[in-house]
Structure 1
């Protein structure tokens, strides 16, 4: 398993649209093969900055999602609302205290 973190920054006027789209699509994303966890976070100091945090069983599962029509649709809608370049990290969890 690995963790995927994506940082996105939106124009203020598009935040309600992004949140509505995420609410509509989150279960479809979570239901993708290999997606074990999905959450959305908003920065406390800059409300235009959001992070998705997801757990994937294998890199191939994430790549299959990234090549899916679902991802292409979500990403097309999402990137039109950005006010800055997105950043993404794939990281291995080393320690868990839970």
Structure 2
């Protein structure tokens, strides 16, 4: 399993717009082939910082999403709201305890 973490920082006036955009598209992203889980986090101290965690069956599934019209549309609208360049990591999940 691959976990994709993306850190995003938004202009304060763009936060509500981003939250609305995420709300409108979260189910489409989650239902994309190979996506097993989708999470959104907001920093407790700096409300302009968000993280998405998406869990993918494989790198090829993530790449298929990243090459899709859905990603192109959502990323373009998201990126326009940034105050800083996004950071992203692709990680292999090694251990999970419940």
Structure 1's unaligned 5+ residue stretches are: none
48-57 or 88-97, larger mean C-alpha shift: 88-97
Aligned to 2:75: 75
Q: What CA distance in whole angstroms lies between the structure 1 residues aligned with 2:95 and 2:74? A: 31
* Coordinate RMSD, CA, aligned: 0.5
| Distance (whole Å) between structure 1 residues aligned to residue 95 and residue 26 of structure 2 | 27
TM-score normalised by the chain length of structure 2: 0.98
Name the counterpart of 1:22.
22
For residue 13 of structure 1, give the secondary structure of its aligned residue in structure 2. Answer: helix
Stretches of 4+ aligned residues off by more than 2 angstroms: none
Q: Distance between the aligned counterparts of 2:31 and 2:96, measured in 1? A: 24
Q: TM-score when scaled to structure 1? A: 0.98
